[in-house]
A and B are shown apart, each in its own frame.
Chain A
């Protein structure tokens, strides 16, 4: 008697559970479909401007603003990519940008990882206060002290030279944070063992920490490079001489002086300025994401 009731109750419970599961999977499928719809729309919105830029760079100058809008060019005008080199200072701009990006990245990675080791692994009075000073600058926007900085660098006679941008970008607190974060995750026993074997602190940094921190160094390198490549305000304030312009400054001036309104040519220049960054990003995507997710800041 009781056994029969038990069995019935169990059967009913199973039925309810199955029904519940069915409802849940149906709901989940609907949610997934909705998720895909959101992603597709968002991806389209995120990528449309790039698509339009790329396609416009291959149009003739009249076709850029055709009504109704034409997304794909009627004839592909590849010559835009040849003309932009002769009709603008692209070559000079690219050279300056390249020099700046490489030098700044090198200095930032070197001094940043060196100082980070000091903060992470040496102990001396005042160290924490010093680090707090570094942390405090997160909340201080560069725009608020750009004027005194400009006066200082002008007094040092470096404004209107590439040195100004190098000094401006190379000693940021960002590299110190990122590397300190990483060094603190390296087990202390490793350095302790090396210390017992007679390695100096510099030796530990050079032979143990640097090789171990290659992923973090890659993040810092890529982020600094891209940041310097894209910087607009620094060059705008410091580099007055057109021979010193970076690609961003050059293209911005190219827009302002575009009397014949050949926007197709401009788009070709913009595409060329974005391509190196796109390549770097696609190849080193992992390092970008990890670098920004662990340190959570930029510039």
Chain B
């Protein structure tokens, strides 16, 4: 392709005869061929992702409802959001969930990856076992864990009784413990996936660096902080971005496990959007909350990218 392009530009500009048609049209042909490859997927992608995202912003400034009537109402939806108690609870709960879920999942998955990286026997089996929750359907997970969390008859509290816990928490029936219970399940579910990503990152850490640090007398802990973690930064960065977005948009697990309850103790942002949109048919208002979710995800991703850039330079 490079060759073709240089021939075109190298053709003498003052030549009376036009250059041969085939050469002239090569860039055009390249573009046509390229587009023809991308188009089948792009049509679907544009219609079902790009257009809806653009329409979302328009809708958030209207009072779009079930009848489709859409009047431009400016910032009214956003003003209403600020005064909406449920919305505030949803945002706070989403942040609370993220604050528990992100560090816990990173710690567990990184810890397991470090253990597995020691070439222990049975590592292959463990990798399979750890990954399995991640590919199990959310409905099966939620139903099974819901019943395991059952305060009086569930296995979890029975085990807690056995080990001597006097008053085990009421889990999903308690407003204080419902969110931690959801976090336990989502960490249990995601751990294996991020463990695999960390494991791939750990295997790329050069052995010589560890050897050199050991010769210099660095302890295991020192080597972890001064060799492993810095080498692992690209992976950690990537995992943090993905895990943050997935925490902000947490929805299906909560929908099936608690449906936002008890009370509003596990009501999260995505569910607020779902309720306003699909249950109350206030599409315009729901869109403004969706814009808030959209901006949260974009902002945190951009911030993480900038921070990573600063750290690596």
A residues with a Cβ closer than 8 A to B are 31-32, 35-36, 38-39, 42-43, 45-50, 52-53, 64-69, 110-112, 114-115, 117-119, 122-125, 127, 130, 133-134, 137-152, 167-168, 170-173, 175-176, 201, 205, 226, 229-230, 232-233, 236-237, 247-248, 251-252, 255, 263, 266-267, 270, 273-274, 277-278, 281-282, 285, 288-289, 292-293, 296-298
Chain B residues contacting A64 (CB-CB under 8 Å) are: 147
Contact with A along B26-67 (1 / 0, CB 8 A): 010011011111111111110111111101100100001000
Tell me, rounded to whole Å, the shortest Cβ–Cβ distance linking A232 to chain B.
5
CB-based contact B144/A49 at 8 Å: yes
Q: Does B140 contact A (CB under 8 A)?
A: yes
Given known A-B contacts A49-B148, A147-B286, A176 and B294 have beta carbons under 8 A apart: no
Q: Does B72 contact A (CB under 8 A)?
A: no
Q: How far is the CA of A137 from the CA of B54 in the complex (A)?
A: 13
- Residue from A38, A138, A167, A277 within 8 A of B44 (CB atoms): A167
CB-based contact A115/B37 at 8 Å: yes
Q: Does B158 contact A (CB under 8 A)?
A: yes
CB-based contact B144/A171 at 8 Å: no
Tell me, rounded to whole Å, the shortest Cβ–Cβ distance linking A258 to chain B.
10
Q: Does B287 contact A (CB under 8 A)?
A: yes
CB-based contact B133/A67 at 8 Å: no
- Number of residues from B at the complex interface, CB < 8 A: 96
Tell me, rounded to whole Å, the shortest Cβ–Cβ distance linking B95 to chain A.
15
Chain A residues contacting B313 (CB-CB under 8 Å) are: none
Tell me, rounded to whole Å, the shortest Cβ–Cβ distance linking B191 to chain A.
8
CB-based contact B55/A134 at 8 Å: no
Chain A residues contacting B136 (CB-CB under 8 Å) are: 50, 230, 274, 277
Q: Does B270 contact A (CB under 8 A)?
A: yes
- Residue from B48, B155, B191, B197 within 8 A of A293 (CB atoms): B197
A118, A147, A170 pick with most chain B CB within 10 angstroms: A147
Q: How far is the CA of A74 from the CA of B242 in the complex (A)?
A: 45
- Cross-chain pairs A/B with CB under 8 angstroms, 10 sampled: A48-B155, A52-B155, A137-B49, A145-B53, A147-B277, A148-B53, A148-B56, A273-B137, A288-B131, A298-B193
CB-based contact A278/B132 at 8 Å: yes
Q: How far is the CA of A119 from the CA of B33 in the complex (A)?
A: 11
Chain B residue with minimal CB distance to A266? B143
CB-based contact B137/A277 at 8 Å: yes
CB-based contact B144/A270 at 8 Å: yes
Chain B residues contacting A282 (CB-CB under 8 Å) are: 128
Closest 8 CB pairs of A and B: A171-B44, A118-B37, A122-B34, A141-B249, A124-B31, A65-B153, A115-B41, A111-B41
Given A251-B139, A277-B135, 5 more A-B residue pairs with CB atoms under 8 Å apart are: A38-B115, A123-B34, A144-B53, A255-B143, A292-B197
Q: Does B293 contact A (CB under 8 A)?
A: yes
Q: Does B129 contact A (CB under 8 A)?
A: yes
Tell me, rounded to whole Å, the shortest Cβ–Cβ distance linking A122 to chain B.
3
Comparing B16-24, B119-127, B224-232, the segment that makes contact with chain A is: B119-127
Q: How far is the CA of A171 from the CA of B38 in the complex (A)?
A: 11
A66, A144, A175 pick with most chain B CB within 10 angstroms: A144
Chain B residue with minimal CB distance to A173? B45
Given known A-B contacts A114-B41, A148-B287, A50 and B132 have beta carbons under 8 A apart: yes
Q: How far is the CA of A236 from the CA of B150 in the complex (A)?
A: 26
Q: How far is the CA of A127 from the CA of B49 in the complex (A)?
A: 18
Given known A-B contacts A39-B115, A122-B33, A141-B270, A226 and B135 have beta carbons under 8 A apart: yes
Chain B residue with minimal CB distance to A38? B115
Chain A residue with minimal CB distance to B59? A148
Given known A-B contacts A144-B293, A232-B256, A237 and B150 have beta carbons under 8 A apart: no
Tell me, rounded to whole Å, the shortest Cβ–Cβ distance linking B200 to chain A.
5
CB-based contact B31/A125 at 8 Å: yes
Contact with A along B100-139 (1 / 0, CB 8 A): 0000000000011001101010110111111111011111
Q: Does B196 contact A (CB under 8 A)?
A: yes
Q: How far is the CA of A36 from the CA of B256 in the complex (A)?
A: 35
Tell me, rounded to whole Å, the shortest Cβ–Cβ distance linking A187 to chain B.
16
Tell me, rounded to whole Å, the shortest Cβ–Cβ distance linking B119 to chain A.
10
- Residue from A134, A139, A147, A278 within 8 A of B283 (CB atoms): A147
Q: Does B182 contact A (CB under 8 A)?
A: no
CB-based contact B197/A124 at 8 Å: no
Tell me, rounded to whole Å, the shortest Cβ–Cβ distance linking A254 to chain B.
9
Given known A-B contacts A38-B115, A147-B283, A112 and B41 have beta carbons under 8 A apart: yes
Chain B residues contacting A66 (CB-CB under 8 Å) are: 153
Tell me, rounded to whole Å, the shortest Cβ–Cβ distance linking B156 to chain A.
10
CB-based contact A47/B129 at 8 Å: yes
CB-based contact B35/A124 at 8 Å: yes
Chain A residues contacting B245 (CB-CB under 8 Å) are: 138-139, 141
Chain B residues contacting A47 (CB-CB under 8 Å) are: 129, 132
